[in-house]
Amino acid sequence: MIIILLAILFANIKIVPQAYAYVIERLGAYDKTWSVGIHIKIPIIDRVAKKVNLKEQVADFPPQPVITKDNVTMQIDTVIYYQILDPMLYTYGVERPMMAIENLTATTLRNIIGDLELDETLTSRDRINSSMRTILDEATDPWGIKINRVELKNIIPPREIQDAMEKQMKAERERRESILKAEGEKKSAILIAEGEKESAILRADARKETAIKEAEGQAEAILAVQTAIAEGIKKINEANPSDAYVALKSLESFEKAADGKATKIIIPSQIQGVAGLATSIKELLTDTK
């Protein structure tokens, strides 16, 4: 008898592991919820109604057919991240709670997608996720379940819509490629034009500098000649030349002015007298020889 009693005692000692809770019924009615630790139940009177996992769990539901506002039928599958906060409500709140959540998820998804068009559905995942999480979390509160996250795993439009989208994406890529190519050619043409402009400016600056240097050289040469002439005149004036010398220099100047091309030259009287004197001297020298 002692062995039987010990066996019954050990059989009714229950150890609740971490992140679990046991729902205990006494005589068929809810009595208590055991948390982590060692517990002893009364044989026959108490029983463990349900062992509840308190960790965050993931439920991956199969694709659900939904219809958008513009009458496009697509398949969408969802992933639910949930956690049981009240084991008693989870046990007695609803029959087959995961099936209830799956059906609730499907109806909520249809309601939300029914107000959106195809393009909005494809680009509004975050908004859809947030709306579904809010609705599901509120609906599952009486079941002791908290919905932490809802994610749209896949959005699968009809085959013809996928083909049209692929063609659209291809056309968009080709358009972007054309734009990038045109922008590259434009930048290349601008760089070439800027290079030619800078080259022309540099050539013009070079010609300008050359002309300035040539003009400066000519000016310096003229200045030097005039300076030399001025110095010569100054020396002549300092030497106090005679009238005959001045007349002879004037004749030389007229000779240079005529240069063998003038047909008529008017010679001042003073120079004519000097010219006659010069001729007489020349004849006298000839006779003496």
Segment 1-50, tens digit of pLDDT: 788 777 877 888 899 999 999 999 999 899 999 999 999 988 889 999 99
162 located within any domain: no
Dist CA 132 CA 149 (whole Å): 9
Q: In the listed set 11, 31, 53, which residue is the last one of a domain according to the structure?
A: 53
230 located within any domain: no
What pLDDT score was predicted for residue 274?
Answer: 47
Look at 262 and 165; give whichever has higher pLDDT: 165
207 located within any domain: no
241 band by pLDDT with thresholds 50, 70 and 90: low
Domain of residue 255 covers 242-289
| Same domain (yes/no): 75, 117 | yes
Query: For 62-95, what is each residue's pLDDT tens digit?
Result: 998 999 988 888 999 999 999 999 999 999 988 8
Domain CATH code at residue 66: 3.30.479.30
What pLDDT score was predicted for residue 260?
Answer: 53
175 located within any domain: no
Least confident range from 157-171, 204-218, 266-280: namely 266-280
What pLDDT score was predicted for residue 257?
Answer: 52
| Same domain (yes/no): 67, 83 | yes
What pLDDT score was predicted for residue 167?
Answer: 81
Least confident range from 3-12, 127-136, 260-269: namely 260-269
30 located within any domain: yes
Residue 56 has pLDDT above 90, yes or no: yes
| Same domain (yes/no): 17, 89 | no
What pLDDT score was predicted for residue 140?
Answer: 94
288 band by pLDDT with thresholds 50, 70 and 90: very low
| Same domain (yes/no): 38, 71 | no
**DSSP assignments along the chain, one per residue:** -HHHHHHHHHHTEEEEPTTEEEEEEETTEEEEEE-SEEEE--TTTEEEEEEEE-S-EEEEPPPEEEE-TTS-EEEEEEEEEEEES-HHHHHHSSSSHHHHHHHHHHHHHHHHHTTS-HHHHHH-HHHHHHHHHHHHHHHTGGGTEEEEEEEEEEEE--HHHHHHHHHHHHHHHHHHHHHHHHHHHHHHHHHHHHHHHHHHHHHHHHHHHHHHHHHHHHHHHHHHHHHHHHHHHHHHHHH---HHHHHHHHHHHHHHHHTTT-S-----HHHHHHHHHHHHHHHHHHHH-
What pLDDT score was predicted for residue 285?
Answer: 43
Q: In the listed set 157, 192, 215, which residue is the last one of a domain according to the structure?
A: 157
The predicted model scores a pTM of: 0.57
170 located within any domain: no
| Same domain (yes/no): 62, 148 | yes
What pLDDT score was predicted for residue 174?
Answer: 84
142 band by pLDDT with thresholds 50, 70 and 90: very high
| Same domain (yes/no): 80, 142 | yes
| Same domain (yes/no): 84, 151 | yes
| Same domain (yes/no): 72, 147 | yes
Residue 277 has pLDDT above 50, yes or no: no
182 located within any domain: no
What's the total number of domains in the chain?
3
What pLDDT score was predicted for residue 79?
Answer: 95
| Same domain (yes/no): 25, 93 | no
